Structure 1
Amino acid sequence: MNLTDTPVLILTIVLFVASLALAMAQWGGRGILRGRVRTAEQRRGPLRALSYLGTVLLCQVTAVAMVFVVVNNENLIYDSWGDLLGTSNHVRAVPVPPKDGGLSGDQAAASGSPVPKVVQSFHAPDSDAVPRSVKQTDLKGRLSGVDGEVLVWTPPQYDDPAHKDRTFPVVELLAGYPGASSTWFGTMDVIAQLEPLMKSGQVAPFILVSPRVTLLGGTDTGCADIPGKVNAETWLSRDVPQMILDNFRADRTADRWALAGYSAGAHCATRLALAHPDRYRAAISMSGYNDPIGEPSSLTAKDPKLRETSNPLYLLTHAATPPNVALYQTGKKGDGLEDATALQRAAKSPTTVTPVETTGAHLTSTWKPLVGPSFKWLTGIIPAR
């Protein structure tokens, strides 16, 4: 049972109400609520005092648990008990990834190779917070050694017989840290916001893909390949896209793929787009950062070399040629705006950077209203066809 399942919320409410009822019964039975005078012996009884204290603590614990579940369900910070306790490990192995030939290179290699397609079965989302129109699969990363869930939503045109031979552009949605793969479809309400815009033609009919990004318990991977620890970059930029290409009518060229993320996921979106312009055409960043130390628990922030080379500004300024990547960077002063303007100043054609100043706190309530405007911008980069 996931943390975000409705029965968990109901259970915490029932336990809280039961603890209050126990306290009322205990205090009332001893005459506290009816004003009866207790004897000196009753007042001094240590066991009785401990029972009263225990009941008060029980009320507090159940109240805190209920509030935590309500807040977690609202923001989808933790999707599983393992993520909450920091015990989840989705790294099966850490092989050395094969040479990266880009999205088109992978397709060329696959066409002349006996390697079988990554054919997946899909089921309803594990999280009750995710609309039933979303499909979930549990993917074993062939190249990365990472195992994790991937949530996929197809646009309204996808199942229309008039578009049966059409392929569709793709956006990978990256959650922050801590954050669940369900957050974009739950708290961020991306389907309810974008589906009407796709039907009206204001937003291109993107396939939306939200892979697991928390791979090592209570640690942020920085979306990087770290020898001996995790191949997060290969998981997100190679295994997940290959699965989408093998199971959906997705466009097979890099200029039809993009990323979007918030907070640590925003850092990853920008970083992956700049590191792999042969895989992605654009990235949307909501309150992201350049220096990996923006997330102190990030593995890339703890290694001086990785901290330098994982910085999107470093990637941009050290690229052999300016990447053909468009970046949409939102943030407020002190929370992403300065990083966005630094990228804008360093960008050279054909790289483009669009900074957008916001004023809200570092919360999903700030990022959720940005979904519509950012995807309209993205449609200007990757239009419908």
Structure 2
Amino acid sequence: MALTSKRLLMLAVVVAVSVFTVTIWLWPRLARRSVPAVLGRVGILLGTQLSILAAGGVAANLYFGFYSSWADLLGTEQEMGVVVDHDGTGTGRLVVQGTRSVGLPDGGNPGKAGRVDRVTIAGEGTGITASAYVYLPPQYFRSRYAGRKFPAALVLTGFPGTAENLITRLRYPQTAARLIERGTMRPTVLVLARPTVAPPRDTECMDVPGGPQAETFFTEDLRRAVAEHYRVGGRARNWGVIGNSTGGYCALKMALRHPGAFSAAAGLSNVYRAPSDATTGDLFGGSRRLERENDLLWRLAHRPMPPVSVLLGTSRRGEDNYADARAFVARAKRPLRVSSIVLESGGHNFSTWSREVPPALDWLTHRLRVPGPGD
């Protein structure tokens, strides 16, 4: 039974209710002061608490999408085999595993709402293979745009979230389809992914010394593979990146460090320096220099300003990154361009990000160049 299955949740709830009922029924019989009675009370109390915690854990995982499978939870995730399509360059690999409609009226008609492809991307440069979703806007399927290329944006969720969250919780494809229909968002291909490319480790999109080369995967392998398979531009001016939480830090960092890969980036509830904890391990190989290089505020004070546009999403009350966001704005100078979304109150949660995604998508797509003949 799948970890994200509603059947598993129902089973966990039934077990919890049954154990609780059994506890109530047996409690009078275990009221004696004998050793077996005491052990029995301890046992059924422990069973009740564990069953309730298990049901709560399954419900929380189904709602927030922390882990997509048992293998993901246990850290033994097995990647599926990859079919390789070569187009002559031999530099990137992407295979479509399936398609799904956009969850809107007329969502089954790609020419009206677009389409979502489930893909596997294999990076030859890094050896990393990752699953993702690709949202193709409705214009992609219209004869008027046949043969025309589109700008693209990489969309990253947090850690340890799943790419599915970007569809079911933050509703990027649905939001994009509505904004495009209203004419406020430019038609853009969205690549929906998780920053966790070496589960269960949180790499913070780092090229870890002696470890996963996550930064190179996103800035080179993924962009190249998508541009080879879909009609999108291949230059930095055609590409943006947006993310929430860990994905937001990744978005800003990759734009600042790799202006040749992304020309615009939006970070929602992001941190400004990579954490160091049990999930990350040693990301910098003991190098103080490398740690500073990945500190966004340090970069603004000690490195040249890159010619990119960035958007910061934060809240005056309820988020820990407000002071850092203000410091970032104060230190930024041209040619770096900074915009912000500042909510009066908000938290580190999907409710807050859902209020920021529509204006952030609008902002991002208007800073990307529609690919021309040379892109």
The TM tier, using the shorter chain, reads 0.7 to 0.9
Report the TM-score, using the length of structure 2 for normalisation. Answer: 0.82
Aligned residue identity for 1:79: S
Q: Distance in 2 between matches of 1:349 and 1:235?
A: 28
Q: CA deviation at 1:167?
A: 1.6
Aligned match of 1:345 in 330, 355, 369?
330
Residue in structure 1 matched with residue 348 of structure 2 by the alignment: 362
Residue identity (%): 28
CA shift, 1:115, in A, is: 2.3
1:266-291 CA-to-partner distances (Å, cap 9, x unmatched) read 11100001111111110011121222
**Match in the other structure for 2:361:** 375
C-alpha displacement of 1:337: 2.7
1:230 maps to 212
Give yes or no for contact 1:264–1:295 (8 Å, CA) kept in 2: no
Aligned match of 1:328: 311
Deviations 1:308-349 (A, max 9, x none): 0112234445545x3221000012356223333333333332
Counterpart code for 1:123: G
1:171/1:18 Cα in 2 relative to 1: closer, same or farther (>3 Å)? same
**Which of residues 195, 199, 221 in structure 2 aligns to 1:239?**
221
- Unaligned runs of 5+ residues in structure 2 are 80-85, 101-106, 109-114
Q: Once superposed, what is the RMSD of the aligned Cα atoms?
A: 3.0
Whether 1:251 and 2:233 are equivalent positions in the alignment is yes
1:260-279 map, 5 Å: 260-279=242-261
Partner Cα distance (1:296, 1:65) in 2:
23
Deviation readout 1:157-182 (Å, 9 max, x if unpaired): 22233322222211111122222222
Which of the pair has more CA radius of gyration?
Answer: 1
Equivalent residue, structure 2, for 1:128: none
Deviates more, 1:13-22 or 1:170-179: 13-22
Letter in 1 for 2:320: D
Partners in 1 of 2:276 and 2:326 — Cα distance? Answer: 16
Partner of residue 311 from structure 1, selected from 295, 301, 306: 295
Structure 2 CA distance, aligned partners of 1:117 and 1:88? 23
Contact 2:312 2:339 in 1 (8 A): yes
Q: Per the alignment, do residues 12 and 42 of structure 1 end up closer, same or farther by CA in structure 2, a change over 3 Å counting?
A: closer
Asked if the contact 1:285/1:329 (under 8 Å) is kept, the reply is: yes
The alpha-carbon distance between structure 1 residues 217 and 169, as it changes in their structure 2 partners (threshold 3 A), is: same
What CA distance in whole angstroms lies between the structure 1 residues aligned with 2:278 and 2:292? 14
| Structure 2 residue 127 is matched with structure 1 residue 145 | yes
Shift of 1:124: 5.3
Answer whether contact 1:3 1:79 (CA < 8 A) is retained.
yes
Other structure's SS at 2:95 match:
coil
Query: How many positions carry a matched residue from both structures?
Result: 349
Q: CA deviation at 1:20?
A: 3.0
Deviations 1:328-385 (A, max 9, x none): 0012356223333333333332210113323212222211110011112123312668
Determine the C-alpha separation between the residues in 1 that align with 2:220 and 2:195: 14
| Residue ranges of structure 1 left out of the alignment (5+ in a row) | 33-37, 91-109, 126-130
Equivalent residue for 1:292, pick from 249, 274, 280: 274
Please give the alpha-carbon distance, in whole angstroms, between the structure 1 residues aligned to 2:39 and 2:144.
Answer: 72
Indicate the SS of the match to 1:184.
helix
SS in 1 for 2:168: coil
Give the Cα separation in 1 of the matches to 2:119 and 2:35. 56
Secondary structure of 1:209 counterpart? strand
The offset of 1:293, in angstroms, is: 3.3
TM normalised by structure 1 equals 0.80
In structure 2, what is the Cα distance between the partners aligned to 1:69 and 1:237?
Answer: 34
